[in-house]
Amino acid sequence: MFIGVEIGGTKLQIGVGDVDGHPVGDVQRLKVEPAKGAAGIRAQLTDALPQTFAKLGGRHFIHGLGVGFGGPVDSSRGRTITSHQIGGWGDFALRDWFESTFGVPTALGNDSDLAGLAEAKCGAGRGAKTIVYSNIGSGIGGAFVRDGELYTGQGIGAAEVGHLRITPGESGKPWKTLEETASGWALDRTARGLLGEPSATAADLAEAARSGNLAAAQAWKQAIEFWGVALSNVATILCPDRVVLGGGVALQGDFVLAPLREVFSRNIFPPFAGRCELVLAELGETMVVQGALLLAAGMAKKS
């Protein structure tokens, strides 16, 4: 058996599964307390993982552990680079910490990369030779999977869709990224400004657009234009079989998918139009855990 762990900015998930990335039993979900920083998350893991081992009959039944981390990582060295949400993760040897604390071989990956791996093998990317995955949630990440293998460039990540520069910035400054202009965080700010509600979210903006609020509809349309152009640029470079869209925005279903497909098709390199399918992710909340299970199983096969 294998263990998959997701370390996010708001949630911590732990799942047990098989070599094919399928969880066995329920995935445990814990709430992260950001004020306690990275040390607080490690304390939660130190408490929770031995309980998981005990339920399985002992640590010796675990053949590997995979970790999906919510931020850029150097997977080749097993180190986190930083977290944009939780303090204390700068250049931290997370793989070594897991192995010395729990005595289980560990592999580390970025959460979006592992979500893409899971979707490629277990979800909406099944049967495709190449997929691009992008989660449009609080932030915007991405992954590229070919022949079932995750591409991570030099080992510090690749397919950073959210950091594509998509619109001009102020004079003399860099262009703004997709994440700055159209992520959940950006749309939350737009919703609060347009709707006059201090707690308004991207979902509220979408609902207002559906209900005929012209300003909200225009803001939603602009976000879709940004997403579609960014994804079409990625597809123009890689020409994947499938582009899989996950994250909270994907929960809007056809309200996002139908117009996004139109923008995507309009902007992709014309010979590729109609060859790159844009679909919604299938795996839901467990996708990073499933990707972490696959990462652990892949590590075990190579050892």
- Per-residue pLDDT reduced to its tens digit, 176-197: 999 999 999 999 999 999 999 9
Fold of the CATH domain 2-114+285-302: Nucleotidyltransferase; domain 5 (3.30.420)
Q: What is the SS3 string spanning 94-163?
A: HHHHHHHHHCCCEEEEEHHHHHHHHHHHHCCCCCCCEEEEEEECCCEEEEEEECCEECCCCCCCCCCHHH
What is the mean pLDDT of the segment spanning 111-116? 96
Q: What is the pLDDT of residues 62-79, one digit of tens each?
A: 999 999 999 999 999 999
Q: Which residues of 96-119 are buried (b: 16+ CB within 10 A; e: fewer)?
A: ebbeeebebbbbbbbbbbbbbbbb
What pLDDT is recorded for position 6? 98
The answer to whether the CB of 226 falls within 8 A of the CB of 181 is yes
pLDDT at 262 over 90: yes
Q: Residue 10 — very low, low, confident or very high, per pLDDT cuts 50/70/90? A: confident
pLDDT at 215 over 80: yes
What pLDDT is recorded for position 81? 96
Among the listed ranges 41-45, 94-98, 152-156, 280-284, which one has the minimum average pLDDT value? 152-156
What pLDDT is recorded for position 250? 76
Q: Residue 9 — very low, low, confident or very high, per pLDDT cuts 50/70/90? A: confident
What is the mean pLDDT of the segment spanning 229-240? 97
Q: Residue 249 — very low, low, confident or very high, per pLDDT cuts 50/70/90? A: confident
Q: Residue 248 — very low, low, confident or very high, per pLDDT cuts 50/70/90? A: confident
**Which CATH superfamily includes the segment(s) 127-282?**
ATPase, nucleotide binding domain (3.30.420.40)
Q: Where in the chain is the domain with CATH 3.30.420.40?
A: 2-114+285-302, 127-282
Mean per-residue pLDDT of the chain: 94
Percent of the chain with pLDDT over 90: 88
What pLDDT is recorded for position 202? 93
